[in-house]
Amino acid sequence: MTKKFYRADKGKGMKIEERLDRLMKLREQARLGGGKDRIAAQHKKGRKTARERLELLLDEGSFEEIDVFKAHRCNRFGMEKKINPGDGVVSGHGTINGRIVFVYAQDFTVNGGSLSETNAEKICKIMDMAIKNGAPVIGLVDSGGARIQEGIESLAGYSNIFFRNVMASGVIPQISVIMGPCAGGAVYSPALTDFSIMVRENSYMFLTGPKVVKSVTHENVSEEDLGGAAMHASKSGVIHYGADSEEDAIMYIKALISFLPQNNAESPPVLMTDDPVDRAEEQLNQLIPNNTMMAYDIKDVIHLTADNGDFHEVQPEFAGNVVVGFARYGGMPVGIVANQPKVLAGVLDCNASVKAARFIRFCDCFNVPIVSLVDVPGFLPGTAQEYAGVIRHGAKLMYAYAEATVPKITIVTRKNYGGAYCVMSSKHLRGDMNYAWPTAEIAVMGAKGASEILYGREAKKSNDPAKFVQDKEQEYIDTFLTPYQAAERGYVDDIIEPKTTRLRIIKALGLLKNKKDSNPLKKHGNIPL
């Protein structure tokens, strides 16, 4: 590293060849970041460099770098001797499958990818351009955090990024991938973006590291257990995907981007499909077990109905009792929200409510229609849930469905009880097309509970209380545990043969293509956070 990374101009006497040579050399210097040794050290950790990552992410030859020569201005703690062109972040734009994206990748080989004032200015410039030009922004994070030698300037830089994350929210899709360290307040940028991805066993994300944790709470915890991908993907729900490798993380982003519009004024991209629109799936007619207490996999419904069975799941390891992700029907992207009978019987709890609510709000921001597959016995009872605020979290899900104005298609496959009936994209929350399979049970509650409440006292007086309740249970099942009462009221638009589900979804999407709906004028609502 030199005091200045460029030589003073020789002035008028300098030939064009010399000038070009100098330019090439400076570019080469920038390309090497912190130098060969630090690149080797990065590789030794099983990590790629910022430029290698961008090469993998973007279409070949599409990357145009911006601010290659931008340098920091700090002259404290010897920093005047540590100046690199680009200053620890590589930023610019390129394309993914021909569509423009703005990108930045922190370069750990330069001052540990730490965030300086000028480094933050580069990121902010990219974000401003992305907002102005209506294209997604993708950040690849690998940084020691605030540039310690700069102090408050670095913190100001972070704050400027966070502010832009908030301004860009709902305007352009924002994606973060954590490919190395991400600690302290730096975590708030990924947390503010729409999707965050981490690379397993080679990245971590926490507010305070193990040493601080030890001194404050006396806990002994490793970096991986405190803030590794496995923990965030399954426990905290902070991230949306734990990737097995950097390549896997990048594949995930590319697939994700393929479902999304460039910005909130566009529709999501429709692709040609060779999967027949009217493909009927006999298996769907047999999917629901005769015993309604038995589980089945709701993902079978998704795989059997979506184009070519493709489903891009979001947060697959977190709150598995609700499944969310993207698929296409007749080439049209949709967001799927599905209760999962295989996990906790598909019950809604705090985590499932928040997971689904955030996903629904993303879809609504970006004009992605929502298909809800409903098989839900209700909200999870118990002190653990009540103490954790299941009312507040369930209300978020209610709020998200109610405010969403994108096309909303609902298919009730089986249980749809109580408060969960109201929440899960019901007609009353502006569900556009609500269908039920003949196996649907749309009621206030399950038969056993209902009969015990209604007939418990009478049963005790009868000769055979168990039989008495059983008979009443059957009466309740015949009366309410069907889709017909809801259909009589128009709360479901039709009762459909399960095998025709794909066709019905595609037809509904076509019907709702030009749907217009809005909410009362307001600054913003007050979702129960």
Instruction: Give the interface with ligand HXC as residue ranges (CB under 6 A).
Output: 111-112, 114, 144-149, 155, 158, 181, 183-186
Q: Which amino acid is at 39?
A: I
Angstrom distance (rounded) from CA 360 to CA 399:
10
Q: Which is nearer to ligand HXC, 112 or 190 (CB)?
A: 112
Q: Which is nearer to ligand HXC, 150 or 375 (CB)?
A: 150
Those residues with Cβ within 8 angstroms of residue 428's Cβ, 6 or more apart along the chain or in another chain: 422, 491
Angstrom distance (rounded) from CA 3 to CA 75:
10
Q: Does 431 participate in catalysis according to the annotation?
A: no
Residue that is written with structure tokens 């009927």 in the block: 280
Minimum distance of ligand HXC from residue 144's CB (angstroms)? 2
Minimum distance of ligand HXC from residue 70's CB (angstroms)? 17
Q: Are 442 and 486 in contact (CB under 8 A)?
A: yes
Minimum distance of ligand HXC from residue 158's CB (angstroms)? 4
Pairing of strands 174-178, 137-141: parallel
Q: Does 419 participate in catalysis according to the annotation?
A: yes
Chain centre to alpha carbon of residue 14:
53
Residue of 88, 139, 180, 184 marked catalytic: 184
Q: What is the DSSP string of 247-258?
A: HHHHHHHHHHHH
Minimum distance of ligand HXC from residue 195's CB (angstroms)? 21
Q: Does 184 participate in catalysis according to the annotation?
A: yes
Q: Does 185 participate in catalysis according to the annotation?
A: yes
Residue of 170, 209, 419, 510 marked catalytic: 419
Q: Which is nearer to ligand HXC, 149 or 500 (CB)?
A: 149
Query: Could you tell me the two tokens for 77?
Result: 């703690």
Q: Which is nearer to ligand HXC, 10 or 76 (CB)?
A: 76
Angle at 527 between CA 523 and CA 529, to 5 degrees: 130
Minimum distance of ligand HXC from residue 178's CB (angstroms)? 12
Q: Which is nearer to ligand HXC, 34 or 94 (CB)?
A: 34
Minimum distance of ligand HXC from residue 156's CB (angstroms)? 9
Those residues with Cβ within 8 angstroms of residue 411's Cβ, 6 or more apart along the chain or in another chain: 301, 371, 372, 373, 374, 435, 436, 437, 496, 501, 504, 505
Q: Which is nearer to ligand HXC, 67 or 107 (CB)?
A: 107
Angstrom distance (rounded) from CA 504 to CA 112:
53
Q: What is the DSSP string of 105-156?
A: EE-TTTGGG-B-HHHHHHHHHHHHHHHHHT--EEEEE---SB-TTTTHHHHH
Helix (H) or strand (E) holding 495: strand 494-495
Pairing of strands 322-329, 332-339: antiparallel
| Backbone φ/ψ region at 389: left (φ over 0), alpha (ψ -120 to 50), beta | left
Residue of 170, 185, 418, 510 marked catalytic: 185
Residue of 420, 440, 447, 486 marked catalytic: 420
Q: Which is nearer to ligand HXC, 184 or 261 (CB)?
A: 184
Minimum distance of ligand HXC from residue 63's CB (angstroms)? 25
Q: What amino acid positions are annotated as catalytic residues?
A: 184-185, 419-420
